[in-house]
Amino acid sequence: MAAEKLQKRLFGTNGVRGIVGKDMTPDLVLSIGLAFGSMRKGRIAVGRDSRTSGESLANAVKAGLMAAGCDVVDCGMLPTPALQYLVMHHFDGGAMITASHNPPEYNGVKIIEPDGTEMGDEQTVLLEERIFSRNFEIQSWEHVGSETKATQMVDYYTNAIIRSVPENIGNNLSVVVDPGCGAASVTTPKILTGLGCRVFSINAQVDGHFPGRLPEPSLEGLKGLAGLVRSTGSAFGVAHDGDADRAVFVDENGRFIEENQEFALVADYICSRRSGVVVTPVSSSLLVETIVKKHGGSVVYTPVGSIYVARTMRELLEKGENVVFGGEGNGGLIFPGHQFCRDGGMTATIMVAILAQSGLPLSKLIDQLPVFHMIKEKIQTDNPDRLINHLAESCKGYTIDRTDGLRITKGDAWALVRPSGTEPLVRVMVESAVSDSARKFYQELMGYVRQL
């Protein structure tokens, strides 16, 4: 499968990120614009999330793109999936200035291909080569590109989502939105209102200082959301990360819904209507596969990273497979009839549809899901490869999968051991439907680690 990971120097799993003024500078972003513009001629859409550095860096990427001969359309502040949707329908490419869920001091760039997906590894390596060798096709005065502004275009995105479900499906439903002062402030309240919901909001003023909570929706940060859900008697609360490709939920009691449960609930809804293939990384809970199989569907696993999920979904569809859904166990869900990227606004919309169809409170729907026990730990090591190879050797009697890191299945338990992309450690996940099996398997693995 083409979803194999290639080594990139600058770009991580989700674009380039860094601390503004330190490793994320207008200089760097200008060269990204020049490189991307040299590779893709045509009309390029540019967007940004709500970070204080967004305008400065958006201007840098636009300068590079125009100098390389591209015409630039500035779509203003909007979620990453909104820009991806606009690119898919109207542009030859896109550049999104965002650091997603990272703290306020970060920013970055995501490059969008004409089909709306993030640039894949092969093309990204070529882009990086251009940046490092400064191989840019800078144009003369007759061929420099121009800029237009189209901040109203975000309405194409919100309207498409509203139209994707039956009219007024959210009637009689009160909901609370927490965009965390990020990009979804301009979209999700509007979408949910458009579905007929009665919408309350918290942290819905655009503010790059993120005064209400950090862009990563954590349990601690969502206390305000949970409180407002309870005091307004709302059916659920939805929160986004800074660029709103992810959505996480609290139920009507303000209880946080673990993201694998969210994924499974949505998979249940989708597969009950149309069973088929669901694509997800090897890090997702077995809960998802259990639900998909209940409806006669199957799961295809990919390396960790939404881009591998999105590209695998496309590839399978091109081969004629019936791909109905995909996503990650972090609130990043992909709806193939809509577009091939994670979409937080669409996820909130599907949650409204789920509640409208079932007539049950969200807490009930979650409690009906099978229970799995997951252990997540980190192991400090200077040599992740050595540790992982040692574990693979120690576990060679079990089923081993090397799609990403090391996935070991032993009876009713499985474990995933992966090196961190940024720190000297490996992440370990162990899961089973039986808590004792998960704990025992985890202890067995730690025994092998101690041998080193």
Residues found near Mg ion in the complex (CB under 5 A): 100, 241, 243, 245
Strand-by-strand arrangement of the 43-48 sheet: 16-19, 106-112, 93-97, 43-48, 71-77, 147-149
Q: Which one, of 263, 96, 256, lies nearest residue 178 by Cα?
A: 256
Pick 17 or 311: Cβ nearer Mg ion: 17
Pick 207 or 216: Cβ nearer Mg ion: 216
Give residue number: closest CB to Mg ion: 100
Q: State phi, psi for 20 to the nearest 5 degrees.
A: -65, 135
Pick 128 or 243: Cβ nearer Mg ion: 243
- DSSP for 175-201, written as a single string: EEEE-TTSGGGGTHHHHHHHTT-EEEE
Pick 108 or 405: Cβ nearer Mg ion: 108
Shortest CB 215 distance to Mg ion, Å = 8
Shortest CB 49 distance to Mg ion, Å = 9
Shortest CB 110 distance to Mg ion, Å = 9
Shortest CB 333 distance to Mg ion, Å = 12
Q: List, in sequence order, every beta strand (DSSP E) within 303-345.
A: 323-327, 333-334
Pick 83 or 366: Cβ nearer Mg ion: 83
Shortest CB 99 distance to Mg ion, Å = 9
Element (H or E) spanning 126, and its range?
helix 121-133
Would you say how long the chain is, in residues? 452
| Cβ atoms of 282 and 304 closer than 8 Å | yes
Catalytic annotation, residues = 100
| Cβ atoms of 238 and 348 closer than 8 Å | yes
Q: Which one, of 277, 305, 284, 261, lies nearest residue 407 by Cα?
A: 284
User: What is the DSSP-derived secondary structure letter of residue 42?
Assistant: S
Pick 241 or 328: Cβ nearer Mg ion: 241
Q: Is the dihedral of CA 132, 134, 137, 139 positive or negative?
A: positive
Q: Give residue 87's Cα distance to chain centre.
A: 17
Shortest CB 3 distance to Mg ion, Å = 20
